[in-house]
Amino acid sequence: MFDLRYHVASLTAVFLALVIGIVVGVGISDRGLIDTAKRSLLEQRVARLQSELDAASKTSALSQREEKAAELYINETYPVLVRNRLHGKRIAVVFVGSVDGGIRSTIEQTLADAGAQQVRLRAVTVPVDVPGVKAKLAASPDTQSYRGRSNLESLGRALGDELVTGGDTPLWDALTDTLLEERVGGSKQPVDAVIVARTATPQRGAGGRLLLGLYQGLTATGVPAVGVETTNTTRSAVAVYSGAGLSSVDDLDKPMGQLALVLLLGRASPGQYGLKASADASLPPFPARG
d(CA 76, CA 281): 20
**For residues 69 and 272, what is the distance between their CA atoms, to the nearest angstrom?**
24
pLDDT digits (tens, 9 = 90+) for 190-222: 999 999 999 999 999 999 999 999 999 999 999
Range in 14-23, 246-255, 271-280 with the lowest mean pLDDT: 14-23
Q: Which residues contact 97 (CB under 8 A, 6 or more apart)?
A: 123, 124, 126, 198, 199, 200
Using the predicted structure, report yes or no on whether residue 86 has a pLDDT greater than 90. yes
Cβ–Cβ contacts within 10 Å for residue 142, how many? 12
Comparing 75 with 149, which gets the higher pLDDT? 75
Average pLDDT over residues 78-92: 93
How do beta strands 90-96 and 247-249 pair? unpaired
The confidence score (pLDDT) of residue 64 equals 59
- More reliable by pLDDT, 266 or 39: 266
Q: What average pLDDT does this structure show over 10-27?
A: 50
Instruction: Give the residue-averaged pLDDT of 84-90.
Output: 96
> For the whole model, what pTM was predicted?
0.81
* pLDDT top residue among 185 and 23: 185
Q: Quick check: 56 pLDDT over 80?
A: no
How distant is the alpha carbon of residue 233 from its chain centre?
Answer: 15
pLDDT of residue 47: 72
Between residues 106 and 57, the one the model is more confident about? 106
In Å, what is the CA distance from 193 to each residue of 93, 111, 152, 225? 9, 11, 24, 6
**Mean pLDDT for the chain?**
84
At 239, is the pLDDT very low, low, confident or very high (cuts 50, 70, 90)? very high
What is the predicted pLDDT for the residue at 151?
Answer: 85
pLDDT value for 69: 65
pLDDT at 4 over 50: no
> Could you give the percent of the chain with pLDDT greater than 70?
76
pLDDT attached to residue 27: 45
Helix (H, G, I), strand (E, B) or coil at 48: helix
Q: Sketch out the chain's domains with CATH numbers.
A: 4-82 (no CATH), 90-273 (3.40.50)
99 Ramachandran zone, left/alpha/beta (phi>0; psi -120 to 50):
beta
Q: How far apart are CA 62 and CA 5, in angstroms?
A: 8
Q: How far is CA 70 from CA 83, 89, 182, 197, in A?
A: 20, 30, 38, 26
pLDDT band at 160 (very low <50, low <70, confident <90, very high): very high
What was the pLDDT predicted at 115?
A: 97
Residue 98 has pLDDT above 60, yes or no: yes
Cβ neighbours of residue 26 closer than 8 Å, sequence gap 6 or more = 76, 79, 80
Q: What is the pLDDT of residues 108-133, one digit of tens each?
A: 999 999 999 999 999 999 999 999 99
pLDDT at 13 over 80: no
pLDDT band for position 147 (50/70/90)? low
Q: Which of 12, 14, 15, 5 is nearest to 59 (CA)?
A: 5
Give the confidence band of 137 by pLDDT, cuts at 50, 70, 90. confident
